[in-house]
Structure 1
Amino acid sequence: MQLSYWELKNWFSKVDYTIVGSGIVGIHCALQLREKFPTSKIIILEKGILPQGASTKNAGFACFGSISEIIDDLKSHSEEEVIQLVQKRISGLKLLRNRLGDSVIDFKPYGGYELFLQKDESFFNECIQKLPFINDVLRPIFKTDVFVKEADRFNFKNIFEYLIFNPFEGQIDTGNMMQALLKEVASKNILILNQQNVTNYQELENQVEVVTNEITFKTNKLLFATNGFAGELTQGKVQPARAQVLITKPIHNLGIRGTFHLDQGYYYFRNIENRILFGGGRNLDFEGETTTELHQTKIIQDKLEELLKTVILPNYQFEVEHRWSGIMGVGNYKSPIVEQMSQNVYCGVRLGGMGVAIGSLIGKELADLI
């Protein structure tokens, strides 16, 4: 693309910081850089019309991990590492809520629940037996018990009569959150250029040359906040994980309020006003869902509808109104990757499906590397 003198001068000359990715991490990184360097020139490159990964496509869970996820984490991480992971998620949620305000993001502290299918009796018993131990592990953070056993009052079917409840979680409006973040970026004189896919970059002596699908320019520092799209960047330390989601049409007299995890966290659902938003099923086809393609598959969508009919909404008439997918970034280890990759290139990726919780904090940590 042939740029004019004005375009080159105003947008692509004397660039101090270029951030790749306009999601939660990228925007918080930009805002933190603006606080540290008030007169710097900051641009954000985004390959989509909107943030392309999961920041505008997630389920809006303000959560830090169900009891089954924490039990699973303890099988591959030390207690101290798990505590640090949970603390990061709590700190990230606090940062997000403080920056935008609960009313703006429509935060609702309904609490979180975990359901257990009747076929998973041994796993249900394991979680119940380990409940006091997990509460002890998390007590340094919360200063009280986090998880309690509670009878099902939502009239779910084909599950054990007891759920495990956590009062410290809530739900947000993902669209409101991202719109508020985009407005704040604009107010701080930070430019977002959409539909700019970074195809290559080359480190020069004191700068980085950035090549996109349309332009080539130089920046003093290059920061990647691309999460699930960072596989090649991190030599395979990050793998994409597609999450398929659907939402129902409004349901009359819907009595379900909260955020819910099911089947060891592979499925998750919540109310959004009088609808049910339901996603997951990656465990049905791990290989197929290790992709950056934003599609849906019949095997997973059929399973989501089956679980709606037989477990979540057996007493309601419902119709599916809309379906979509988002891309998470996962790996063999749960800790995010926030590191300096070379003299002038940095990355903050691998959020492990917890972008809402830790995205704000990882963006701040990424900026603080400079």
Structure 2
Amino acid sequence: MNLSYWEYKTWLSNIDFTIVGSGIVGLNCAYYLSKKHPKAKILILEKGTLPQGASTKNAGFACFGSISEIVSDLKTHSQEEVLELVRSRWEGIQLLRTTLGDSKMDFQQHGGHELFLKENTKLFNDCSEALSNINKLLKPVYGEDAYFLHRNTFKFNNIVNQYISSQFEAQINTGTMMNSLLSLVRHSGVNILNSIAVTSFDDSQGSVKVYTNQFEFETKKLIIATNGFANELLDQEVKPARAQVLITKPIKNLQIKGTFHLDEGFYYFRNIENRILLGGGRNLDFKTEETSKFGQTELIQNRLDSMLREIILPDTDFEIERRWSGIMGIGNTKKPIVKQLSDNLICGVRLGGMGIAIGSLVGKNLADLT
């Protein structure tokens, strides 16, 4: 350590709560901690220059769940569990909207549409047959029917000529949302230190000794909110899942508007500033994409490129401007892990690719555990 007295005294002494991770969960946790414990000294440690993981690298979907995802979830979860999953997503988005305001994250409710490939008409038929029952199941959340059939108005190619759509799905600007959250949390008196990686901790002495790549210090409570990187610090049932994303350069007269899913949610795209943002393809190679390393693979990028040419923009010239990846946290169930692990250790991880939808609620629930 090479900390001055001033550095240690100002930033690293008498810490009441330390949060690992400045993503949507960590920031919301800090915000609600500051409201619940207004005199507490709260510190966030972030290993990246900007928030890592998925919070600043996602596609910007509200993400309540496409129809085929709901159908798939009902095969592995009870109806009550699926209802609660969707309810938590809906309530999480409303909480985020209340906390920030729609303008601070450019919230736009253009609706969502699921596309079905021509070679997968069975999935379309299965989802169509399930429409009535799923609308009935989810009516307590939305208050009205969530899903309906919709003709192919955007003229996508090589798909069944109907979508299954939802009026409730929405999109946000991930960058402005996170920047607004960072500003809100800092204004609440929370310190955020970037480029600080927590390597280990010891909570056996009544407080928690935290070891980082730069220094050591003690905190009364430690809260782990690192989602896809959780298994680097915790022994919990969560594993990383990489999501690869690309965005085109601006396209003249682009008419596509809304959020779109394909193939049980494994592919997703949307409009943003006359561009198409497209991501997914993890199902092409689950094993390789079970990683906490950022990067792209030729297999998935080629598939994303071909989907743009053959399905989304079949008669339109386009160029790719940028490619990136994010790291999600997933497990055998879609229910997030939010629990107290010891007197001084709490975690909120495994958001299952639904971080925008449930991150605010998970963060608030973490604060409620203190």
CA–CA separation in structure 1 for the residues paired with 2:49 and 2:119: 43
Task: Tell me which residue corresponds to 1:142.
Answer: 142
Task: Determine helix, strand or coil for the equivalent of 1:360.
Answer: helix
Deviation at 1:93, TM superposition (A): 0.2
Quote how far apart the aligned CAs of 1:232 are.
4.3
Aligned equivalent of 1:224: 224
How is 1:38-53 mapped onto 2 (pairs within 5 angstroms)? 38-53=38-53
Determine the C-alpha separation between the residues in 2 that align with 1:334 and 1:200.
27
Deviations 1:169-220 (A, max 9, x none): 1100000000001111111110000011110100133200000001100000
The number of residues matched between the two structures is 370
Residue 324 of structure 2 is matched in structure 1 by 324
Q: Which residue of 1 aligns with 2:197?
A: 197
Aligned positions of 1:27-38 closer than 5 A: 27-38=27-38
Q: Deviations over 1:71-106 (max 9, x none)?
A: 111111111111111010001100111111111111
Query: For the residues of structure 1 that align with 2:232 and 2:244, how far apart are their CA atoms?
Result: 23
Give a deviation string over 1:222-277, Cα, whole Å, max 9, x none: 00000000124443510100000000000011010000001111100000020000
What amino acid is the match of 1:317?
Answer: D
Cα distance between partner residues in 1 of 2:155 and 2:80: 38
Could you give the per-residue CA deviations for residues 17-65 of structure 1, whole angstroms, max 9, x where no partner exists? 0000000000000011100110110000000001110000000001210
Partner of 1:256: 256
Deviations 1:286-309 (A, max 9, x none): 000000111001000000000000
Q: CA deviation at 1:6?
A: 0.7
**1:162 aligned partner:** 162
Determine the C-alpha separation between the residues in 2 that align with 1:214 and 1:235.
Answer: 24
Counterpart of 2:118, as a letter, is: Q
For the residue of structure 2 that corresponds to 1:278, the secondary structure is strand
AA in 1 matched with 2:18 = T
1:315 aligns with 2:315: yes
- Structure 2 residue aligned with 1:17: 17
* Residue identity matched to 1:229: F
SS at match of 1:61: coil
Report whether the alignment pairs 1:55 with 2:25. Answer: no
- AA matched with 1:18: T
Identity %: 59
Which amino acid is 1:212 matched to?
A: T
Structure 2 residue aligned with 1:84: 84
Distance in 2 (CA, whole Å) between partners of 1:90 and 1:17 is 28
Matched, 1:188 2:188: yes
Distance (Å, rounded) in 2 between the aligned partners of 1:204 and 1:335: 29
Which residue is 1:285 aligned to? Answer: 285
Structure 2 segments unaligned to the other structure (5+ residues)? none
Residue 360 of structure 2 corresponds to 360
Match of 1:306 in 2: 306
User: RMSD of the TM alignment (CA)?
Assistant: 0.8
SS at match of 1:250: coil
Residues 95-106 of structure 1 mapped to structure 2, 5 A cutoff: 95-106=95-106
Which residue pairs with 1:171 in the alignment?
Answer: 171
Distance in 2, Cα, partners of 1:343 & 1:233: 17
- Give distance in 2, aligned partners of 1:176 and 1:211: 32
TM-score by length of 2: 0.99
Mapped partners of 1:364, 1:249: distance in 2? 37
- In structure 1, distance between residues paired with 2:143 and 2:192: 41
